Structure 1
Amino acid sequence: MSAPLRLVLFDVDGTLVDSQGSIVAGMTASFGALSLTVPDRKAILSIVGLSLPNAMARLAPEQSETVQHNLVEGYKQAYHANRLEQGAASSPLYPGARDAIETLHNIPEVLLGVATGKSQRGLDALIEAHDLERYFVTRQVADHHPSKPHPSMIDTARSETGVDAADTVMIGDTRFDMDMARAAGVTGIGVSWGYHDQSALNGAACIIETFDQLPRALDNIWT
């Protein structure tokens, strides 16, 4: 009897790549262009993972929807310019990320995907920059879903791959990822190196400190 298909979904920013420099720079440019006080670094990183409209609503709640929309557009332009200037260096892979992806990809019954607050354009550019095109069979982005922690991204990834909830794991660095996993009825694994404190990951089945701990964490969940 063949093993059941397993689905491993990764968040991107703060989980696979360290994009905080580009995110903070983009927010700084966006707020500065409108002569608004720039949120501090901790506040900016606290919203990573949300879709941009939701993120701006949290960062600038006192501003009108028009101003928040302009902040979103300004951020997109600044982030895109930074990516064009720096390439893959704007969002480097965390140590061990590529090896973990390669190891899991080589297991026949394991399918890989991403569920991210990035746009389709942003995710596609990042995947191309790091030569990761062949690994992810499902890619869920903010353009097509409600913001995390709504379960739509995970539900759609499962629908595309035909994998049961019990055989699906969501890996991320934020409370939004763990809450999304819970909402979708799948297991969440937290990572310690991202943008939310570990105390925010209390919905995780476990928290890994390095990528080389991931295979054993998955084995413990599935066996």
Structure 2
Amino acid sequence: MYLIIFDCDGTLVDSQDTILHGLRVGYEAVGLPMPDRRTALSIVGLSLERAFLDLVGPDHADKVGMMSDAYRAAKVARRQAGLDHDPLYPGTREALDRLSARDDVVLGIATGKARRGVDHLLDVHDLHGRFVTIQTADTSPSKPHPDMIERALSETGVERHRAVMVGDTSFDMSMARAAKTHALGVTWGYHDHSHLRDSGAQMVIDDFEQLDAALAELLKLDREPA
């Protein structure tokens, strides 16, 4: 059996607009100026408190709790108003359907989102039943700590050399390397090709059409379902 673990934001869904909105609300809550777009999005993939701390630095560490609370409240309000519908990237659904139909593959999620955020994503895009293990910021330290992958391996019983982390940030790649699994970077998210390679990506792909070939090379996974 093989385990393919996906990050969410920047890998499965394009969430930059809703993330930026939440960050802006967090900064407004404590009266700090919002950083530029590129800097703000550079922390996507980290757990929320870790992300705000990286952005504001130790001088404003005392504000991180209030910023995080404001962000979460804004996300809940947007969902209740029907405004939080981050779109899937092109090819996401087809890739997940293709992989989840195989007898020799199980799928997982490892994300800096809270579990309720993942559940919302699964609800909005009707993706329930495809992931046998879901690891979130509620129960694990922030990436790049390997705990999320370690938990996924434990829950599925898959050996680490038969597992791969698919993600768009250096945090994902560093997490995979720390867990001694394979690391596959994608360029349609928040960190570029060189950033992914420098943090441990064994391969980097530019769209979901390249996913099967990359998995075949990394895991020796047959291109056709078992």
1:123 to 118, 121, 142: 118
CA–CA distance in structure 1, aligned partners of residues 75 and 205 of structure 2:
29
Assess if the C-alpha contact under 8 Å between 1:173 and 1:194 holds in 2.
yes
Normalising to structure 1: TM-score of the pair?
Answer: 0.94
Matched residue, 2:7: 11
1:18-63 CA distances to partner (integer Å, 9 max, x unpaired)? 0000000111112113221112111111000101111111111144
Distance in 1 between residues matched to 2:58 and 2:178, nearest whole Å: 29
1:79-158 map, 5 Å = 79-87=75-83, 89=85, 91-158=86-153
Residue equivalent to 1:52 = 48
Kindly indicate whether residue 191 of structure 2 is the aligned counterpart of residue 217 of structure 1. no
Q: Using the alignment, how far apart are the partners of 2:177 and 2:26 within structure 1? A: 33
Amino acid at match of 2:173: M
Q: Which amino acid aligns with 2:210?
A: Q
Amino acid at match of 1:13: D
Give the counterpart letter for 1:117 in structure 2.
G
Gaps of 5+ in 2: 221-226
| Contact 1:8–1:110 under 8 Å retained in 2 | yes
RMSD (CA atoms): 1.2
CA shift for structure 1 position 98: 0.3
Moved more, 191-200 or 96-105: 191-200
Conserved 8 A contact 2:109-2:135: yes
**Contact 1:88–1:130 under 8 Å retained in 2:** no
Q: Structure 1: which 5+ residue stretches go unaligned?
A: none
Q: CA deviation at 1:65?
A: 3.7
Tell me if the contact between 2:75 and 2:84 (Cα under 8 Å) persists in the aligned partners: no
2:175 to 167, 173, 180: 180
TM-score, scaled to structure 2 = 0.93
Q: Following the alignment from structure 2 to structure 1, what is the Cα–Cα distance between the partners of residues 177 and 20?
A: 29
Question: 1:213 is aligned with what amino acid?
Answer: Q
| 2:27 alignment partner in structure 1 | 31
Partner residue, 1:171: 166
Identity level (%): 48
